[in-house]
């Protein structure tokens, strides 16, 4: 196996090893812009490293979404753009740079390696690590100027000891579990337990936050109970600190439904990527940013009674054109879409036939289709007047759009378009 620096495909090159042969690499859309070279793994020099599918990030849509959120916020609080999980599959460097260009100063990640990536992309950003950082990562966190989350007194003490050994102060936000049942100080005892953090050397607690389990917007919204608990704990910690700590609680849905919970910061997530804020009558409106595309690797006319894929779960009821796409569950296209997914091809919504396999997926292009090898197919996005987005695929898979976009494997390139 070798590592090769590989630019965008789109020109004829000679395959190495033995007699040279001309291999035409399918061109990608001319609107895509390269950010430089990326390392691509290949097994032999004779193999040409070309992406089976790719992701396009609409910078115009992303920036419009960010501006819509900022307009709704109207300066009452600061946006803390969540770019964890590679910015929900969109590419954390691409998103972080676009956010910085729109004036977003604060970003949030889940893990230490994500913080390192984001710091490289936006050297001046304030970065909050939402997860429980291990104490051995403190030197890296200090070097990258990351604010940590403290989820228990024991966790805080371990971070304090590591920061003290480094001779530095580690800025921190205190995470309070008000009902999510996940990370954080239990709200019943948080006022006392978290207060002890202010006596630890090496720590500088400057903020406090919580996370909602469920937000409905109804009169008996369970998130309201969480807010009551959070306010009580935050008030107590303010008194112990002798100053007001930076407070934040709202995610995308809470921001849409409860302006009174904006506090000092708001953590928008998937809504900024185009899902969950699709009502023009809402507090703000966004549209999807990510499109996922692939190519046809074979198109063939097949008769009625033709079995398709593993276990022959689909038998064609009539003659049709079968298009084989260069994408499968190894790339993150859900196997749950077997026999029920939709792909855009030739300006039509074409059904997925049979099993989604590891590297290839079959679709029914229709009996009168004129489909050529190399033709572009859209897995998520728009083609002509037809669309298919992650929320539709999520419904078909009985899951949520978060899972659809974050499961697009990171080995596929993310390319910014427009902007």
Token pair listed for 48:
């040409």
Per the annotation, the verdict on 310 as an active-site residue is yes
Beta partners for 280? none
54 strand-pairing partners: 293
Give me the residues paired with residue 391 across strands: none
- The first and second tokens of residue 352, run together, are 């997925």
Q: Of 359, 395, 383, which is closest to residue 292 (Cα–Cα)?
A: 383
Q: How many CB atoms lie within 10 A of CB 387?
A: 16
Complete DSSP assignment for 86-140: HHHTT-HHHHHHHHHHTT--EEEESSHHHHHHHHHH-TT-EEEE-S---GGGHHH
Helix axes of 112-121 and 92-101: crossing angle, nearest 10 degrees: 50
Q: Which of 293, 310, 333, 340 is catalytic?
A: 310
Q: Is 273 a catalytic residue?
A: no
CA distances from 196 to 157, 165, 205 (A): 10, 20, 11
The burial of 418, by beta-carbon neighbours within 10 Å (0-12 exposed, 13-18 middle, 19 or more buried), is given as middle
Neighbours of 67 (CB within 10 A): 13
Q: Hey, which bits of 142-251 come out as E strands? A: 146-150, 170-177, 185-186, 203-209, 246-248
Torsion of CA 314, 315, 318, 320, to 10 degrees: 60
107, 118 Cβ separation under 8 angstroms: yes
* Contact between residue 223 and residue 260 where contact means Cβ atoms under 8 Å apart: no
Q: Which of 45, 84, 275, 402 is catalytic?
A: 84
Q: Return all residues near 210 (Cβ < 8 A) that are at least 6 apart.
A: 175, 176, 177, 178, 180, 184, 226, 229, 230, 249
Residues annotated catalytic, as ranges: 84, 310
């Amino acid at each position: 196996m070798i590592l090769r620096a590989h630019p965008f495909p789109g020109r004829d090159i000679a395959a190495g090893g033995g007699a040279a042969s001309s291999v035409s690499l399918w061109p990608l859309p001319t609107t895509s812009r390269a950010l430089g070279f990326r390392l691509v793994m290949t097994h032999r020099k004779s193999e040409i490293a070309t992406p089976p599918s790719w992701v396009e990030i609409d910078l115009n849509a992303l920036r419009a979404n960010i501006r819509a959120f900022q307009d709704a916020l109207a300066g009452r609080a600061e946006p803390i753009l969540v770019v964890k999980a590679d910015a929900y599959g969109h590419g954390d460097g691409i998103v972080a740079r676009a956010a910085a260009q729109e004036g977003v100063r604060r970003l949030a990640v889940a893990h230490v390696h994500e913080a390192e990536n984001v710091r490289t992309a936006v050297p001046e950003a304030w970065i909050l690590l939402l997860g429980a950082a291990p104490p051995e990562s403190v030197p890296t966190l200090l070097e990258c100027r990351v604010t940590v989350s403290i989820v228990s007194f024991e966790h805080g003490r371990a971070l304090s000891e590591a920061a003290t050994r480094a001779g530095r102060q580690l800025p921190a936000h205190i995470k309070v579990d008000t009902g999510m049942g996940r990370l954080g100080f239990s709200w019943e005892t948080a006022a006392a337990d978290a207060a002890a953090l202010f006596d630890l050397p090496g720590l500088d607690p400057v903020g406090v936050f919580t996370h909602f389990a469920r937000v409905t917007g109804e009169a008996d919204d369970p998130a309201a109970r969480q807010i009551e608990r959070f306010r009580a704990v935050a008030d107590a910690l303010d008194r112990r600190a002798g100053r007001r700590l930076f407070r934040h609680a709202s995610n995308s849905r809470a921001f849409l439904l409860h302006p009174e919970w904006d506090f000092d910061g708001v953590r928008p997530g998937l809504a900024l990527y185009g899902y969950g804020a699709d009502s023009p009558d809402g507090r703000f409106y966004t549209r999807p940013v990510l499109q996922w595309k692939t190519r046809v690797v074979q198109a063939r006319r097949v008769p009625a009674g033709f079995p398709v894929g593993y276990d022959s779960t689909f038998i064609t009821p009539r003659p049709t054109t079968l298009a084989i796409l260069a994408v499968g569950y190894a790339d993150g296209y859900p196997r749950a879409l077997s026999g029920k997914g939709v792909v855009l091809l030739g300006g039509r919504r074409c059904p997925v036939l049979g099993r989604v396999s590891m590297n290839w997926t079959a679709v029914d292009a229709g009996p009168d289709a004129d489909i050529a090898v190399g033709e572009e197919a859209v897995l998520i996005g728009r083609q002509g007047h037809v669309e298919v987005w992650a929320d539709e695929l999520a419904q078909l898979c009985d899951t949520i759009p978060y899972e659809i976009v974050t499961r697009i494997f990171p080995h596929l390139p993310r390319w910014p378009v427009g902007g």
